[in-house]
Structure 1
């Protein structure tokens, strides 16, 4: 079973419209805030987030990561895909500055210098890998199989 979550009813309507063109296996689409997901602890084997984190203020980024940790099963994986960051591609600094201005992205300036590996590890994820693909960056993080009581 696949589940899609978005805060925007308009985006969910569009997703439903697109998915219904290929009704083999329709995902369940849920309107929810990623900071407070309507699922029990240790529910998902894997979670993916696509181009969400640059839209969030820093404190919300941490809350979303912590919420993903809560609902991911031990041994499960969180994959984040978002925009490249400044340290990955300093040659694109002008493009990133223009992106902020043209598309009115108020949290992008902080996002491009934010250390998501640190945030993921702070939440409890481990084995965090990063991969860059042109203008996209991926973080792959695993929830430990056995959680310590620390």
Structure 2
């Protein structure tokens, strides 16, 4: 089975209504800064459009928690917005985005070095894949 977590009870209720019949999924209200799982208990962890919503210190804590719950050889996959330099033609758009859409942590997100951040948590950066204004970052927990 898979586990999904969100801070929002309303989002978890919505997901339960729409996903229950489609897949075996355990959904819980929890904070990604303190994932209520044992260390080395998950094969994979994903995060979808969350990193740009977090202050830098919290971002580091969340990546550390993901690394903690991953088994050796486990995979962390982050899907989020492009970052500065991923597609240089979009850099101007990325610079204006936080002002236009009231995203207080976006400016720090677009400059965050996720490869170094993850390495500090025992995760090896494998690859990035970009698609339009989105980016997937893949990391593996070292054995």
CA distance in 1, matches of 2:117, 2:75: 15
Q: Residue 83 of structure 1 corresponds to which residue in structure 2?
A: 81
CA distance in 2, matches of 1:132, 1:25: 28
Q: Residue 93 of structure 1 corresponds to which residue in structure 2?
A: 91
Q: Residue 5 of structure 1 corresponds to which residue in structure 2?
A: 5
Instruction: Give the 3-state SS of the residue equivalent to 2:13 in structure 1.
Output: helix
CA distance in 2, matches of 1:62, 1:24: 33
Q: Which runs of 5+ in 1 are unaligned?
A: 146-150
Instruction: Give the 3-state SS of the residue equivalent to 1:112 in structure 2.
Output: helix
- Are residues 1:136 and 2:134 paired? yes
CA distance in 2, matches of 1:102, 1:19: 33
Q: Residue 100 of structure 2 corresponds to which residue in structure 1?
A: 102
1:133 to partner: Cα distance: 1.6
1:127 to partner: Cα distance: 4.5
CA distance in 1, matches of 2:92, 2:16: 36
Instruction: Give the 3-state SS of the residue equivalent to 2:91 in structure 1.
Output: helix
C-alpha RMSD of matched pairs (Å): 1.4
Contact residue 127 and residue 139 of structure 2 kept, 8 A:
yes
TM-score, normalising length from structure 1?
0.89
Q: Residue 148 of structure 1 corresponds to which residue in structure 2?
A: none
**Counterparts of residues 1-150 of structure 1 (less than 5 Å):** 1-20=1-20, 23-145=21-143
Q: How many residues align?
A: 143
Distance 1:127 1:96, change over 3 A: closer
Contact residue 118 and residue 125 of structure 2 kept, 8 A:
no
Q: Which runs of 5+ in 2 are unaligned?
A: none
Contact residue 115 and residue 124 of structure 2 kept, 8 A:
no
